[in-house]
Amino acid sequence: MKLDPTIFRYVTREEFRVLQAVEMGMRNHELVPVPLIETIAKVNRGCTYKILQTLLRHKLVGHEGKKYDGYRLTYFGYDFLALRALLARGTIVAVGRRLGVGKESDVHYCQGADGEVLALKLHRLGRVSFRAIKEKRDYLQHRQHASWMYMARLAAMKEFAYMKALKDEGFPVPTPVDQNRHCVIMSFIHAVPLFHLRTLRHPNQVLERLMRLLVRLARAGIVHGDFNEFNLMINKDEKVTLIDFPQIIHLSHENAKDHFDRDVRSICEFFRKRINIDVEQWPTFDEVMAEVAASPEAPVLANAPVVEGLGRREDAVLVAAHEEDRGRREDGEGAGSEGEEDSSSAEEDGATDPEAKENPEGFQPLHAPGEQGPHAGELEAEAEAAGASGDAPAGGEPPAGEGNGGGQPGSDSDDSSSEASDGPGQVNVKSGRRTRHRQTAKEARKNLQKQQKQRPAKANNSKAKELRKAKHEIRDFMC
């Protein structure tokens, strides 16, 4: 599903509270029952049911009612919660068109508070892969309800931590900006994936740079694990930038040698098939390990960056999930890297639209027209709590005065329709169609009280008529 910021702008404060309540309930529930959602969100039953129907219509939550009646958070709803936290922090103010689509992640343009162009990466680990991993691994003994969103959040946390560590050591990687839940904000690289190129001006120099980068990573104490043409960006000057880090492993990992040799083979095969260059000599894992052992200094990344909630077992399962996606990709079952569908997604997301010339990134503000976004102080605790939990998609309990993620006023303003821009589910009056009016709980209670008052009044009127009729009959009889 494609991320639609238009819907985000009109999600109300109460709807965000219910959406976050579903997220919190998924810490220990696969399907969250409505009574638990009411308790967490602190919203009465009638409003909760109405809000859930609205969220369900926008596909922010999913509903299962066959064996167990409950709601679950979708990736679309998880996107909204992460964007709301990033908007509250002032990290981003707008989201643009999609750059790349893959089985593991989606990449979008986004705009920072100062107007700079950034990249928004949304991790989307395959749910099928995660189910297979749950069957093979036993680390989930005390986390029976952990979901695929939990793995996506761990992948984002790991990528942000390693990207920051590599950037500090001078490696050619994007600059990390911020991270929340399964979203990573990084600097935008003005380059194209290596697999887009058919020729190179200096192929031998590019090949040498790539091999040196592989060896440099190993000397630092890590193996990339997915070092191929899909995760290497090259600019006009043929300088290389490395992306995609959730599958990084340490040199002490039992599969480090296999992953290193596979990375080398991937580059050699690409240059042989695409550039017609046969690589006769390449670095080996044993040679690199010998250099590391002979060096008096320890690898700069000998100790993995600290990622809260990501232990050895969790990291092993995360790597295994990426390995399964990679294996399915090599078997021809689908694309697995976010760059593999760049060209098609560019056309799909409006590259041919006439307005693309004026706004090539397709930025759409996260604020409603004429409104201001949520106050950062009100949601900062929520954003911190969302990154602190380690059991499932998590977020702090929404405060009573929580701001609106899209800048839309609270429930008091839901009754009136905007003439300047219609929200989702509404139709412009000028088109001749009726505008759908969403009835609030307050109006529903007034209508119910009015109906209850009218019923006994009608009954009393009929009784009074019968009584008057009987009196007239008695009077006529007596006369």
Catalytic residues: 226
Give the full edge-to-edge strand order of the sheet including 364-365. 176-180, 183-187, 117-123, 105-112, 92-101, 364-365
Locate 112 and state its tokens.
């920072």
Residue corresponding to tokens 């119910």:
448
For residue 95, list its beta bridge partners.
110, 364
176, 167 Cβ separation under 8 angstroms: yes
> Sign of the CA dihedral 154, 159, 162, 165?
negative
Q: Which of 3, 4, 86, 2 is closest to 423 using CA atoms?
A: 4
Q: Which of 77, 76, 74 is nearest to 16 (CA)?
A: 77
Burial of 229 (0-12, 13-18, 19+ CB in 10 A): buried
Joined tokens for residue 26: 């998924």
Contacts of 111 (CB under 8 A, 6+ apart): 92, 93, 94, 95, 96, 117, 118, 361, 363
**Which residues fall within 8 angstroms of residue 370, CB to CB, at 6 or more apart?**
420
Torsion of CA 173, 177, 178, 179, to 10 degrees: -10
Question: Is residue 402 a contact partner of residue 16, using CB atoms and an 8 Å limit?
Answer: yes
Pairwise CA distance, residues 203 & 277, whole Å: 8
**Residue closest to 148 by CA, chosen among 105, 185, 184:** 105
- At 333, give phi and psi (nearest 5°): -90, -5
| Helix extents (H) in 141-253 | 148-168, 203-220
